[in-house]
Structure formats: structure tokens, C-alpha cells
Amino acid sequence: MPKRLMIFSDGGARGNPGPAAAAFTILSENQVIKTDARYLGSRTNNQAEYEALIAALEFAAEVGAEEVACHLDSELVTRQLTGEYKVKNAELRRLWRRVQELKKRFSKVSFVSVPRANIQIQTVDALVNEVLDKEVSKRLGGKT
């Protein structure tokens, strides 16, 4: 498994809080090595953003990556992780701490805010919406 990975993660909620999903894709030298998306239940948008990143970091740690560059479209989460903003919300602080624990498993971790126009962010955003559409459809008994 490659030692340097690029993570693109996104989370979203319909309502705040509301039904939420998380998705990520991990690349090595522009080649996708893992993509995942999951339904989270009721969360805020920011919680979903953190949970998407955590899932990606857990995978990267499992496969023995040494360096990860994390790309997020959430400026809030990025700025909290770089120390620019304090984490005041208790639930976000718990998720922030989990990211800090995971960071210790890598020699180098960076967090980069990228625009929603980024093609990889658009891909994971589409996966988030696909998961949410399926969940909403299920809850409506297959009717959309």
C-alpha cells in the first residue's frame, strides 16, 4: 500500500440536525484506492463532515499510510483542525479529539480547505446525496 495518501471527504445533513451521510475517496498518485459512503442517522452537517474524515483516516491508518493530505470543503472543520478556530461545541470537540488520536498514527497529516468545485469533492458530495436519497426513499416505503 502506498505510504502517501490524499483524502477527499464530505458529510452532509438534510436539516440541521437531520438525516446525514458521510463519504470519502482516497487516492494515491491520482489513482483511487478506496471510496466509501455511509448513512449516519441524525447528525448536524458539521458532525457529518467530521465523521467522513474520521472514517477515511481510520482506513488510511489500517492500510499503513504514513502521510495523509486531507481535503475538505468545510472551512469550519478545516480551521478547527488547523487550530485557527476553537472547538466550542461538545459533540464536535469529541469528534475533533478522535481526529487528534488518529493523527498520531501518521508521520505527517495536513488539512486543506478546497472549494466545492473540486472534482473529487463533487464526487464524494454526490455519494453523500445518493446515500441520503436511498435512505429517504426507504423511509417513504420506496416512494420518492
The domain that holds 39 is classified in CATH as 3.30.420.10
- Is 87 contained in some domain? yes
pLDDT tens digits for range 24-73:
999 999 899 999 999 999 999 999 999 999 999 999 999 999 999 999 99
142 band by pLDDT with thresholds 50, 70 and 90: low
**pLDDT averaged over the chain?**
95
Is 144 part of a structural domain of the chain?
no
Cα radius of gyration rounded to whole Å, the chain: 15
Evaluate whether residue 58 is within a structural domain. Answer: yes
Amino acid letter for position 123:
T
Structural domain harbouring 30: 4-139
* Domains: count for the chain: 1
Nearest-angstrom CA–CA distance, 122 and 141: 28
Task: Grade residue 2 by pLDDT with cuts at 50, 70 and 90.
Answer: confident
C-alpha cell at 126: 454526490
Quote the pLDDT of residue 1. Answer: 72
Q: Is the pLDDT of residue 97 over 80?
A: yes
Q: Which residues of 8-27 are buried (b: 16+ CB within 10 A; e: fewer)?
A: bbbbbbbeebebbbbbbbbb
User: Is position 121 within any domain?
Assistant: yes
80 in any annotated domain:
yes
